[in-house]
Structure formats: structure tokens, C-alpha cells
């Protein structure tokens, strides 16, 4: 199959655990699907979900560190009190995003809104857009991504995550499922889409 491969790079990224609301804020090791569809929505300028395009991705970074961040706790009568929290972030992130719709190239060539990987300050840029041919292969490396819980031989952090959100106020999570978050590769013995140039398998979420 032909797919669009978009390479996205930045200085920092952070992906919030849904269960951590206050105190120390750890980051997920790889972006959840909702972040990916948020990224595509920002590029196109309108809400995009799994019914519009199927996606796969490989994410990597150089290191993980902790930063201090000022937050404001809202009180009565619109009063606010400042506080400082520790927040994990990922350094020098790289995202290889695969889309099954080649026409999405125009949205990443000239994104409508700024692209981020996590917080509003986690700005990223598109460094390459390429149409690639993905063939079926087995016995290749798969990982540095999220996989549906239950994929044979896969392992990682198990977390319930939404696939995307509504654009209503307040936002509502849609398609919450258990996923495995993998920050390393493993050899997958079954057939999957293979990017020969990058020498890794791509799991498409539909």
C-alpha cells in the first residue's frame, strides 16, 4: 500500500497521564492516539478522527527529564493562586507519522495552526513529507508506538486512552480502549506493514 510518511521534530514533548491531575506530572513514553489526531486536526484546521484517516507512527526521543512549571489554581471570584509543579518532558522528540490518505500532504506542507506534541510550548516542525510504499512482512521490528491491548508478543505500559476528543466545551473523550505503550522495539513474528527504508513495521489504527 502507498502511505504518506511525515517526519516531525521538536525540542520537547510531553503526554499527560489521564489519571494525574495534580502534583507531579509524569509523561507517557509515546504519544497517545488523541495527540496524533489533535496534530492532524491542527494541520488541516478542522476536527479529524479515525473515521477520516487511519494512522500509524513511530516515536523516539533522546532523553527524559524533569522541569519546574508555574501553574495557577483558580479560586472564588476569579482569584488565582500560583504554585510550582514538577513535570516530566521528553527531549528532542522525533515522530514518523504514517497516514493512509496521500492527500493529507497539503495540510502538513502548510499547517493551518501551530503543531505541538503535548503542551502549547511543545512546538514542532515538519522536516520531511514523503510518499512511501509499504509491503507486508513478518519477523521485523515493531514498537516505539502504541498498540491495541492483546497484540501477540507485544508488551509495555497498559493504559486506557481515548482515540480522540470532541470539539465541544467541555471536550468529551471518544473511543476509550486499553493500549500498550512501547518505548522500545521487539521482533514481531506476524505479518504487518513494513517500511523497508526505515526497517520497521507500522501498525495502522483504524
Rounded to whole angstroms, the Cα distance separating 41 from 47 reads: 5
Q: What is the mean pLDDT of the chain?
A: 94
Residue 54 has pLDDT above 90, yes or no: yes
Give me the mean pLDDT over the 197-203 stretch.
98
Give me the mean pLDDT over the 123-147 stretch.
97
For 154, phi then psi, to 5°, come to: -80, 155
Contact at 8 Å (CB) between 135 and 186? no
* Strand 2-10 with 94-99, pairing: antiparallel
For 102, phi then psi, to 5°, come to: -65, -25
Give me the mean pLDDT over the 165-187 stretch.
92
β-pair partners for 10? 124
At residue 70, the pLDDT reads 87
At residue 74, the pLDDT reads 82
Considering Cα of 65, then 28, then 128, then 167, what sign does the dihedral take? Answer: negative
9-23, 31-45, 102-116, 144-158 — which is least confidently predicted? Answer: 9-23
pTM of the model: 0.92
At residue 68, the pLDDT reads 93
Domains and CATH numbers, the chain: 2-62+89-205 (3.30.70)
Contact at 8 Å (CB) between 38 and 13? no
At residue 130, the pLDDT reads 97
At residue 180, the pLDDT reads 97
Q: Which residue has the higher pLDDT, 28 or 18?
A: 28
Q: Sorting pLDDT into bands at 50, 70 and 90, what band is 176?
A: very high
Q: Would you tell me how many other CB atoms lie within 10 Å of the CB of residue 180?
A: 19
Q: Which residue has the higher pLDDT, 24 or 196?
A: 196
Q: Which residue has the higher pLDDT, 83 or 57?
A: 57
Q: Sorting pLDDT into bands at 50, 70 and 90, what band is 80?
A: confident
Residue 22 has pLDDT above 80, yes or no: no
Amino acid at each position: 500500500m502507498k502511505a504518506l510518511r511525515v517526519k516531525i521534530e521538536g525540542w520537547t514533548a510531553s503526554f499527560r497521564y489521564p489519571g494525574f491531575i495534580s502534583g507531579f506530572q509524569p509523561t507517557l513514553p509515546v504519544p497517545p492516539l488523541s495527540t496524533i489526531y489533535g496534530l492532524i486536526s491542527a494541520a488541516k484546521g478542522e476536527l479529524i478522527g479515525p473515521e477520516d484517516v487511519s494512522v500509524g507512527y513511530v516515536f523516539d526521543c533522546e532523553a527524559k527529564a524533569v522541569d519546574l512549571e508555574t501553574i495557577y489554581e483558580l479560586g472564588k471570584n476569579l482569584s488565582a493562586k500560583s504554585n510550582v509543579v514538577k513535570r516530566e518532558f521528553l527531549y528532542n522528540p522525533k515522530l514518523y507519522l504514517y497516514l493512509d490518505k496521500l492527500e493529507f500532504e497539503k495540510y502538513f506542507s502548510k499547517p493551518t495552526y501551530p503543531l505541538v506534541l503535548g503542551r502549547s510550548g511543545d512546538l514542532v516542525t515538519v522536516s520531511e513529507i514523503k510518499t512511501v510504499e509499504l509491503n507486508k512482512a513478518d519477523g521485523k521490528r515493531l514498537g516505539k508506538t502504541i498498540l491495541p491491548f492483546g497484540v501477540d508478543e507485544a508488551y509495555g505500559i497498559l493504559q486506557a486512552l481515548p482515540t480522540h476528543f470532541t470539539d465541544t466545551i467541555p471536550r468529551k473523550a471518544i473511543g476509550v480502549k486499553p493500549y500498550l505503550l512501547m518505548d522500545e522495539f521487539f521482533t514481531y513474528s506476524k505479518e504487518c506493514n513494513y517500511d523497508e527504508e526505515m526497517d520497521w513495521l507500522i501498525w495502522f489504527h483504524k
